Structures are given as structure tokens and as C-alpha cells.
Amino acid sequence: MTDFLADKAEQLLSWVVPDIDACRRLAMEVRTRDPNASPEQLAKALIRYAQKQGATVGGMTGLAASPVTMLPAALADIAAMLKIEGTMAGGIAAILDPASLDDPDRFRTDVLAIAFPAAFSQALRQIGIRAGEQFTKNLVRRAVGKGSVEGIFKIASRFLGAKVTGRTLAKGVPLVSVGIGAGWNWVEVEGVGRRAIAYYTGQPIGVGRIKQLTRSILPKRFGGSDR
């Protein structure tokens, strides 16, 4: 089971980095809806839109909850969420820091750092950079040249494997899992969105915020992950 989850985690990671052109189109759509809004207001509007998508996904995958379907439901939920969160992060990048999309490798690293801050922090330590509980875009730029990206992928796979386990437990509770899934996804998207805004405006990213938020809505036995 552990090996299976590890393999699935590696497959799921391929979903988190969105298409760059799609992110640019998304940013353009958001600007068109409210041309007078500031970039940060547009970014927050994008977060709200992604939260609604995430809550819908969580509720739908929770409807079929049972001990038999909980693993497929958890995998489907996480795959959809990675796509939503990655696209949201890319759209925020296109709004707040358009030049960051010009280099695909740098963009990939940015999205991974936003989606998996705990994994990135651990990868930094492995290459001799002490980031503590927070890091910034400038620190990420320094780390890219030291071969940290593949390390992030490996560590993020382990974090994601643990996340699949937690989601699987949550999807095994009929009816209750609908509310848990929708609420969990709503909070998680908010955490990723806040990190994206902080990252692309030069502020430090906090590693523990999403865990704190998630614990506020989940039963203790389901845990939480700040990835």
C-alpha cells in the first residue's frame, strides 16, 4: 500500500504545474471582468473563484464516500485540487509578476515552492541553505542554480503520499465526508492563494499556516498537511 501511494504521489505531482499560456489567458479574463481593480484585488478574486471550484470538487468526491471507494475518491480529489491550485498560482503569477512566466524552469520551481512550502524548505536544508520556517522568492531564485528542483519533487512526493492517506480516511465516512471535503478544500485553496500573493509580492511564505487553518475544520484523526 505504501509503495502504491508513493507511485500515485509521483504521478499526481505532474498535475500541479499548469500550462503557462493558460495562466496568461486566465489572468487576462480576470482583468477583463474588473479592469479597474488593483492587481492584488484581482489575485484575491482569483482565489475566491478557485475556492468555489475546490469546494465543489470536495463535495462531489465526498458524495460517493464508502470504505470501498475512499481511495479512488481521495486520488480524484487530490488530482483535481492540484490542477486548481496550480492554475490559480500561475494565474496569480501572471497578474502580479508577469515576467516570472517567461522562464518555464523558474516558473515550475515557483509553483512547486508555493504548493509545497514544507517540502521546499526541507530541500533547501539538504543543499545547505537555511530557510527556517519561511522563505522568499529571492531565496528560491538562489536555490534553483544549486539543483534543488529535483529534490523538491522527491520530498513533495512523500508529503503528497501522506496527504493521500489523510484524504482517504476522510473519504471513508459517508455524508460527513461531503462537508469535510468541501471545507478542507476551501481552506487549502485559501492557504495556497495567500502564499502565492505573498511570494509574488516579495513577502516571506509561512510553512505552517495551512496546517493551522485545516486543523480548525477537520476531526483530529484526519490530520492536516501543509505540504
pTM, rounded to two decimals: 0.79
Query: How confident is the model at residue 180, as a pLDDT?
Result: 60
Q: pLDDT for 7-58, tens place per residue?
A: 566 666 777 899 999 999 999 999 999 999 999 999 999 999 999 998 888 7
Q: In whole angstroms, what is the distance from residue 32 CA to residue 43 CA? A: 13
Query: How confident is the model at residue 144, as a pLDDT?
Result: 72
Q: In whole angstroms, what is the distance from residue 219 CA to residue 225 CA? A: 13
Q: In whole angstroms, what is the distance from residue 160 CA to residue 154 CA? A: 10
Share of the chain above pLDDT 70, in %: 64
Confidence of residue 88 (pLDDT cuts 50, 70, 90): very high
Q: pLDDT for 128-163, tens place per residue?
A: 776 666 788 988 887 776 666 666 777 777 766 666
Using left for φ > 0, alpha for ψ between -120 and 50, and beta otherwise, residue 224 falls in beta
Q: Is the confidence at residue 95, as pLDDT, over 90?
A: yes
C-alpha separations of 43 from 26, 38, 112, 114, 206 in Å? 11, 9, 18, 15, 18
Query: How confident is the model at residue 128, as a pLDDT?
Result: 73
Query: How confident is the model at residue 14, as a pLDDT?
Result: 73
CA angle 2, 167, 107 (to 5 degrees): 85
